[in-house]
Amino acid sequence: MLKQLKFAAIALLVAVGFTACSEDDPAPNLAPLRGEAGMYVINQGNSYGNVAGALDFIAQNGTKTDSVFFKANGQLIGDAPQKPIIYGSKMYVPVFASNLVWVLDANTATVIASVQTNQPEAVCASNGHVYISNNDGFVTRIDTTTYTKSTPLAVGPNPYGIAAANGKVYVACSDANNYGAGYANSAIAVIDEATFSKVKSITNEGITDPWEMVADNSGNVYVTTPYTANKVWKIDANDNVSALCDGTYIATNTQNRTSRATGKQNLLYVIHAVTDWNTYTTTISSSVYNAATGAQLSNNFLQTPANTAEYTFAPICMDVNPANGDIYVCSDNGSNGYAKPGYINVYTSNGAFSKRIATGIHPYGVIFK
């Protein structure tokens, strides 16, 4: 996690889609789409500068409320919060250095419960449970009704990314603390959801120090290796591994669509970022893939704005608004600006630059409400 703060970490980009319903179909009783009410932004802060993290909220009309967690609960969210998820009516926020996961009301950001767990890095949810990858080598499972946690399950060294698909939970065991030996114990651990037991480790000579993981609507899981090969790897439903493309930041969207949602279904968006640490200059390219077939649909998808100063940024992660397909790219204030307030570049669903939103220090993800 601290390596990620230093080198300007992983990003996600989420795809969106629609069903075959007509736009003219009456839908008075449809549940609101994620993103129609606005979005939360998690700011990690700066552990080196003793700046705690914060959770902000930006309404659909653009009104921003800073530090909604503090305002709702009268306390700071903690040190080095990781990207939350919303599952049902609740938000789950892992806070790495505070050794806990907050369970919040997703509408008000008030605390419902807190679950103590060692160095939580990432969370995913499936079938009434939230799974936590803990950097100490374990995965913990939370029951979303009682908030009780399982006995930690040993999976491998330094777990980071985690994703659920096909009745299984996949965990990127990065072996990040084993740099001197070339991350020799890197693997993807596979957990059977039904028994909450580790059933195998997937190894591949190219997957060293695996980091972020996402799943698509076809049962595929993707994992990045940004600090080694800087590639995106695909794990299919049968656990076969293949290299897909160069890439640093990824995401897909698995939320069910309705006719009111725009965008395209079952896509994988990729940003490939290369930073020259001598000049602190980051060069990026972006692409879109059909997640079902693996075919590349677009190259250099995110378009450079006319004001290039607003495009000079160091991406951290990406997300897509499921309600309208707009793309959000969180960024530090330059490749050496992780101690300064960052921002979010917003693009339309077609990749055109739209606007920039100011954030706190090290914005680490957009969570659509």
> Per-residue pLDDT tens for 115-146?
999 999 999 999 999 999 999 999 999 999 99
Contacts of 114 (CB under 8 A, 6+ apart): 100, 101, 102, 103
Structural tokens at position 106: 């997703």
| Furthest CA-CA distance within the chain | 61
> pLDDT tens for residues 208-248?
999 999 998 889 999 999 999 999 999 999 999 999 999 99
Whether 255 has a pLDDT exceeding 60, the answer reads: no
Q: How far apart are CA 258 and CA 265, in angstroms?
A: 11
Predicted local distance difference test score (pLDDT) of residue 205? 86
Contacts of 63 (CB under 8 A, 6+ apart): none
More confident residue, 306 or 332: 332
> Could you tell me if 24 and 359 are in contact, meaning their C-beta atoms sit under 8 angstroms apart?
no
Report the alpha-carbon angle 328-76-49, nearest 5: 75
> pLDDT tens for residues 85-108?
999 999 999 999 999 999 999 999
Q: How far apart are CA 82 and CA 4, in angstroms?
A: 11
pTM above 0.85, yes or no: yes
Report the alpha-carbon angle 337-343-348, nearest 5: 135
- The amino acid sitting at 304 is T
> What does each C-alpha distance from 313 to 265, 303, 309 come to in angstroms?
28, 14, 8
> Could you tell me if 144 and 164 are in contact, meaning their C-beta atoms sit under 8 angstroms apart?
no
> What does each C-alpha distance from 15 to 39, 104, 162, 321 come to in angstroms?
16, 25, 18, 8
